[in-house]
Structure 1
Amino acid sequence: MKTLVVGAGAVGGFVGGRLLQAGREVDFLVRPARAERLRQRGLRIVEGDRSEVIEATTVTADVLKDPYDLVLLAVKADALPAAVEDVAPAVSPDTVLVPFLNGMAHLDTLTEHFGDRVLGGVLKIGTILDDNGDIRQLVPGGQLEVGELDGDRTARVDAVADTLAIPGFTVTVVSDIVDRMWRKWVMIATVGAVTSLARGTIGDVAAVTDGAEFAAATLDEAAAVAAAARHGLGEAAHTELRNLVTASGFPMTSSLSRDLAAGRPTEVENVLGDLILRGRAAGIPVPRLEAAALTLRVHGLRQAAEHPR
């Protein structure tokens, strides 16, 4: 499938780069500044002491005109509205779109614009973008789940899975993709809230008095919101996540806490803010999530004041 990756950051650059290495036909839709950086340095994936330079084809919105078979959306939530407009010329009636964004609000935006062309996707990788614009891989490989939003098994979702099935990636077609997207949301909201408030790792939190209990209670808040939305985790998944967020010695952080520590803007609204609003609408108290959101919003206010656009 001819594939367009929207964004070439820590997520889009990593997935698209690995697809290119596996012989897939891939272009990157990026802003002019990112296109220039990629022309100068190439798309670089760094793992430990090993650096790979991948030749990437970039396009900018002003020249995009031909349709693609598959569009992978890998942008931050605040960039989604512009990305939707930019990518429209690449979307034909037969195009399939798979988003790799945090939270769930993006599905409403995408289905409003592109209807049933949109699939659900859950991506699990460990990558960050460093100050040089290079992608640093923190853990090997990746896991990817895709599925039709209505749960059907279709030829197009199988074709997408075949395209994404490359060395190092585990790709699974699932019938409950929306439930799994909610499960990931609960996980990243919990880890993000806990590690942002603690300014430390999950293991750091578990090592202090009442830390594991705080993390478990934060998980219970997020899981209760999912259950109210009829996407409850189930006992096995809840136990698995509880074990993860209370794990002693576990060096896990989140993009929220890493961005906070680095002085960058965070995705507080689509990871925590939206979840809090849904909890309030359902009458579910979420004080720990609210405390974390307050912390990140104050950080965002300071960042906006120090770095006005």
Structure 2
Amino acid sequence: MRYIVIGAGAVGGTIGARLHQGGHEVLLIARGAHYEALRRDGLRLITPDSAETLDIPAADGPVPVQDDDVLILATKSQDTIAALAPWPSDLPVVCAQNGVDNEATVLRRFERVYGMCVWLPAQHLEPGVVEAHGFPYSGMLHVGRYPQGVDDLAEQIVTDLGKHGLVARTSPDVMRWKYGKLIGNLGNAADALLSRGPGMAEVVERARAEARTVLREAGIDFSTPEEELETRGHQVDVRPIEGSRRGGGSSWQSLARSSGSIEADHLNGEIVLLGRLHGVPTPVNEVLRREANRYAREKLPPGSMPLETLLALIDERSAAGSR
């Protein structure tokens, strides 16, 4: 079985590297300077206890497919449709992405869709290089058939993922775990916009409180932080890498790379959508969604919004919604 990893950045690059190290055939799909570096030099995977250059095949677009290919989609959610458009719809797709709407989007075109809940602290800021900060394992991955269940392919994927450097589990209710992860990811926009400090933590908790209220009103079940901590334990602790400074999460990295887009519509925006559908105000998530998109569009640097500015915008939105 060959794994085609579409989006070989922080998450996709780490998953592809670990599958390769486990003895599996892997093809990395990347673009631009990152693709050129992968093709020329291989993938440089740096972890807290090792640094290795891996000779993994790479391409910058679709290739002839094989009957046993599996697509692992690790792009940002805003790129899902474009990333999958060139690929045959009879291939299975694993959505190794934040957010909860990718699976439904993919299922419109692909028959076999699998959700993956990803806990994998990594960063990709330099072409050809991925830094994976998890220790002793790089990440923990829950995999299940969408919308629910576990089949033989899910079992095989989990077995393959678990051979080297990753912890993987089958999960018939994978979307429940992904909704829990969504709540955690609501802090990504604040992490990207603000300098870290106690004020940021307060904003994040307010965003998460809105989400819990909305999800309960919508009748959507979600995993809790306590469950996540019990499941993960100390298998994926964040450790420093010598000579490297871990800047921030995936949204912070989008601003740091001046990519021009960010995932906020599919994270904070998901809560805004559900709030509007169920009549629950979500001013914190609406402002975080709007401002993260503005920062990405205008290519502003991460951590450059004053906390006072963000709080004033939230207060303004809250007041407008109460009128």
Q: Same fold (TM over 0.5)?
A: yes
Aligned in 2, Cα 1:150/1:270: closer, same or farther, shift over 3 Å? closer
Aligned in 2, Cα 1:262/1:70: closer, same or farther, shift over 3 Å? closer
Gaps of 5+ in 2: 230-245, 301-323
How far apart are residue 241 of structure 1 and its match?
8.1
- Other-structure match for 1:133: 128
- Other-structure match for 1:288: 284
Distance of 1:36 and 1:264 partners within structure 2 = 17
- Other-structure match for 2:114: 119
Counterpart AA for 2:166: F
Distance of 2:208 and 2:226 partners within structure 1 = 10
Q: Does 1:55 align with 2:55?
A: yes
How far apart are residue 60 of structure 1 and its match?
4.1
Most deviating of 23-32 and 165-174: 23-32
- Other-structure match for 1:247: none
Aligned-partner SS, 1:113 = coil
- Other-structure match for 1:41: 41
How far apart are residue 132 of structure 1 and its match?
3.5
Aligned-partner SS, 1:223 = helix
How far apart are residue 262 of structure 1 and its match?
5.7
Q: Does 1:83 align with 2:83?
A: yes
Distance of 1:48 and 1:160 partners within structure 2 = 26
Aligned in 2, Cα 1:4/1:197: closer, same or farther, shift over 3 Å? closer
Distance of 1:240 and 1:153 partners within structure 2 = 20
How far apart are residue 81 of structure 1 and its match?
1.6
After TM superposition, the score normalised by the length of structure 2 is 0.77
Distance of 1:257 and 1:59 partners within structure 2 = 26
Distance of 2:29 and 2:250 partners within structure 1 = 23
Cα deviations by residue, 1:46-95 (Å, 9 ceiling, x for unpaired): 2258421000112343543434332111112232222211222xx53xx4
Alignment of 1:1-309 (within 5 A): 1-31=1-31, 33-48=33-48, 50-61=50-61, 63-88=63-88, 92=90, 95-115=91-111, 117-140=112-135, 141-189=138-186, 191-200=187-196, 204-205=197-198, 213-233=202-222, 237=224, 253-260=248-255, 263-265=258-260, 266-303=262-299
Aligned in 2, Cα 1:253/1:227: closer, same or farther, shift over 3 Å? farther
How far apart are residue 18 of structure 1 and its match?
0.9
- Other-structure match for 2:309: none
For the Cα contact (< 8 Å) 1:196–1:260, is it kept in 2? Answer: yes
Most deviating of 178-187 and 29-38: 29-38
Counterpart AA for 1:44: R
Larger relative helix fraction: 1
Gaps of 5+ in 1: 243-250, 305-309
Distance of 1:7 and 1:264 partners within structure 2 = 14
For the Cα contact (< 8 Å) 1:186–1:226, is it kept in 2? Answer: no
Distance of 2:102 and 2:267 partners within structure 1 = 11
How far apart are residue 14 of structure 1 and its match?
0.9
Aligned-partner SS, 2:126 = coil
Counterpart AA for 2:35: A
Query: What count of residue pairs does the alignment treat as equivalent?
Result: 281
After TM superposition, the score normalised by the length of structure 1 is 0.80
Distance of 2:22 and 2:250 partners within structure 1 = 27
